[in-house]
Each structure stands twice: as structure tokens, then as C-alpha cells.
Amino acid sequence: MPLFKEIKKEIKLVRKLPYKFYYHFKDAVGKESRLMIEDWEIGQLFWKCFKRKGNEEEALKDITKKYQEEFLSKKDILLFLGTTLEFHRRKARNPFVITGVFYPPVLTRVS
């Protein structure tokens, strides 16, 4: 029995985003950072908003609103970071990019 099975089907390419998205934030010691989001979810959100609104400007407004009203006010945000060869070759000051985001509900602390 073969280890790999050949699958013959058409592969659809994902459309390239016309924008780069970033998180601007302060860490636990107050240092400000700006990291590019490479997570596929932000791209899917953009295309969904664009399809619903019909233009890029309105889609971007919807994304901003969603992040401010849903994610930033009601949830914690945990970032998964990774690096890319491109930024290492440039010897970037900070070679990290956001490769994933997790939005757990904000936990209330019990004293």
C-alpha cells in the first residue's frame, strides 16, 4: 500500500490582500511595538467585509470596528509570533511577525 496517495484536483490560489495589517500595542513593561499580522484570519475578514460592503474603504472601517468593539473591549488578545527569512536577511531590529491570534474571553480574577 502506498504511503502517499496522489490527489488530482484543481488548486485555487488565495487572492493577495491589497493591504498589510499591523497590531500596535504595549507589552507588560510598557514598551510599544508594531508587528505585521500574517495570520490568514485578517485576510478572510477583509474579503468578507469587502464582499458585504462592496468597497475597500468601508471594509477597512468594518474591520476596525470589529476589533475595537469585539476583540479589544470584550476579549484578551494573545499573539503567536514567528519570524520570516526576509526579515532575518535584512537584519531587522525586530524580525517577528504575528502568525496567529487567539481571543479568549477576559477572565475576571477572584481575590
Q: Which residues have CB under 8 Å from 67's CB, separation 6+?
A: none
Least reliable range by pLDDT among 28-37, 44-53, 87-96: 87-96
Question: What's the structural domain count of the chain?
Answer: 1
**Residue 22 belongs to some domain of the structure:** no
Calpha distance 76→106 (Å, rounded): 5
Residue 17 is assigned to a structural domain of this protein: no
- Residue 13 inside a domain? The answer is no
Residue 16, domain member (yes or no): no
Which pLDDT tens digit goes with each residue over 52-71? 999 999 999 999 998 888 87
Residue 107 belongs to some domain of the structure:
no
The answer to whether position 51 is within a domain reads yes
Task: Specify which of 20-24, 70-74, 82-86 reaches the highest per-range mean pLDDT.
Answer: 20-24
Would 80 be classed as within a structural domain?
Answer: yes
* Structural domain that includes position 91: 32-102
